[in-house]
């Protein structure tokens, strides 16, 4: 059994459902300390975080990831226990196999091999690991990044081990993610008997023209890396449940997935202008779940692309699709952030898995990237 596979299985066997790390980071510290890493366990509430660094000179290459996993779902639907790593049909099964304990194992073994072969390499290497990525993400990477910024630690390159590949290892990496911003709109009306509409004001009827305009609005063109910004209604709530009552208010939940072609503040102003134009009586609250980030083609994407090409023969596609990740926090203190990991077809699903044939090549890609950046 390869070192990467063995470590991946050790981590999968630890049932670290968000935010419980359950000893995963302790195991990483046991492996990184003999390699010369100074390891800091940074606890925040019930979240475990690890910052580990070897070396003090630039450039600093950081591997980032999370040890927490999503809940398993019904155990009886799994073909094998989610926290008992199992081989079947050429695949490694277990919760976290793809998202993202195998990536963490591959990173650690890649660094072990790289430092053994090149003990006098230039620059520094770091690890930023959290148990809060799958949860609220308020006590994890964002907190560590805040501390690193306060003490002046400069990150130059960061590889986040998210499962970004689609069909084959190396066919896609993420050089950015869209921002996510939610709004809760409450439009006021006057409740009344449906037989006497002149004595009431139906907020659904009042809202309809404005919502139609918001749906049709063209928010931006996107750019080379991003599709145009998307605005979507997720829920509409109104009424008492009775068929003869005009509701007193309607509540509309919506979400923007936006690119670097727009700003959160600009989108908020445009929504409010449309609502005001239609003379609505309303309240509107906003929640910015994550800002967009983008790493244009450069040293890190080139180093990673070359490593993927050497190991797999594939030309990796740069993409910004998908949901949010902790890359949005790291990008605030690091100019180049790229996400790369195994195929994501089984993540968060029953019988999550990774193909065994991808495990050591993933480790080799991480090692080759270090060679391209630090030799």
**Pick the catalytic residue: 9, 68, 134, 162?**
68
* DSSP line for 256-319: EEE-TTS-HHHHHHHHHHHHHHTT--EEEEEEEEE--EE--SSHHHHHHHHHHHHHH---PEEE
**Pick the catalytic residue: 9, 99, 132, 133?**
133
SS3 content of the chain, % helix, strand, coil (to 5): 30, 25, 40
Rounded CA gap, 90 and 358, in Å? 10
CB 176 within 8 A of CB 293: yes
153-171 as b/e: b if 16+ CB within 10 A? bebbbbbbbbbbbeeebbb
**Catalytic annotation on 21?**
no
Nearest to 83 by CA among 38, 91, 75: 75
**Catalytic annotation on 68?**
yes
Phi/psi of residue 162, nearest 5 degrees: -60, 150
Nearest to 110 by CA among 373, 330, 368: 368
* DSSP line for 309-370: HHHH---PEEE--SS--THHHHTTT-SEEEE--SB-TTTTSTT-EEEGGGHHHHHHHHHHHH
- Show which residues are catalytic: 68, 133
């Amino acid at each position: 059994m390869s070192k990467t596979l063995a470590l991946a299985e050790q981590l999968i066997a630890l049932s670290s459902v968000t935010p419980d790390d359950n000893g995963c980071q302790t195991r990483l510290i046991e492996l990184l300390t003999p390699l010369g890493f100074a390891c800091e366990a940074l606890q925040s509430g019930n979240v475990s975080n690890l910052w580990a660094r070897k070396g003090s000179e630039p450039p600093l290459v950081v591997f980032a990831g999370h040890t927490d996993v999503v809940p398993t779902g019904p155990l009886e639907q799994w073909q094998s226990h989610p926290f008992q790593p199992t081989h079947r049909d050429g695949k490694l099964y277990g919760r976290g196999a793809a998202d993202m304990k195998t990536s963490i194992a591959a990173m650690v073994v890649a660094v072990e091999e790289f430092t053994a072969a090149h003990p006098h390499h230039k620059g520094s290497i770091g690890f930023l690991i959290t148990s809060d990525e799958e949860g609220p993400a308020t006590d994890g990477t964002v907190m560590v990044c805040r501390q690193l910024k306060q003490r002046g630690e400069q990150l130059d390159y960061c590889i986040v081990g998210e499962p970004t590949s689609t069909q084959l290892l190396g066919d896609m990496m993420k050089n950015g993610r869209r921002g996510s911003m939610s709004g809760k709109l409450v439009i006021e009306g006057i409740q009344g008997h449906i037989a006497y509409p002149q004595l009431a004001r139906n907020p659904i009827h009042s809202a309809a023209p404005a919502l139609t305009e918001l749906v049709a609005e063209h928010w931006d063109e996107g750019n080379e890396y991003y599709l145009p910004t998307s605005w979507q209604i997720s829920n509409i709530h109104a009424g008492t449940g009775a068929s003869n009552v005009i509701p007193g208010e309607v509540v509309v939940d919506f979400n923007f997935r936006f690119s670097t072609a727009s700003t959160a503040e600009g989108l908020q102003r445009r929504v409010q202008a449309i609502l005001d134009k239609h003379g609505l009586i309303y309240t509107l609250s906003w929640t910015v779940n994550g800002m967009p980030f983008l790493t244009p083609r450069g040293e890190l994407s080139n180093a990673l692309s070359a490593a993927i090409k050497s190991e797999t023969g594939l030309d990796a596609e740069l993409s910004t699709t998908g949901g949010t990740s902790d890359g949005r926090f790291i990008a605030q203190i690091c100019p180049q952030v790229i996400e790369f990991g195994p195929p994501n077809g089984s993540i968060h699903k029953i019988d999550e898995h990774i193909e065994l044939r991808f495990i050591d090549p993933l480790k080799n890609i991480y090692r080759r990237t270090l060679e391209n950046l630090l030799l």
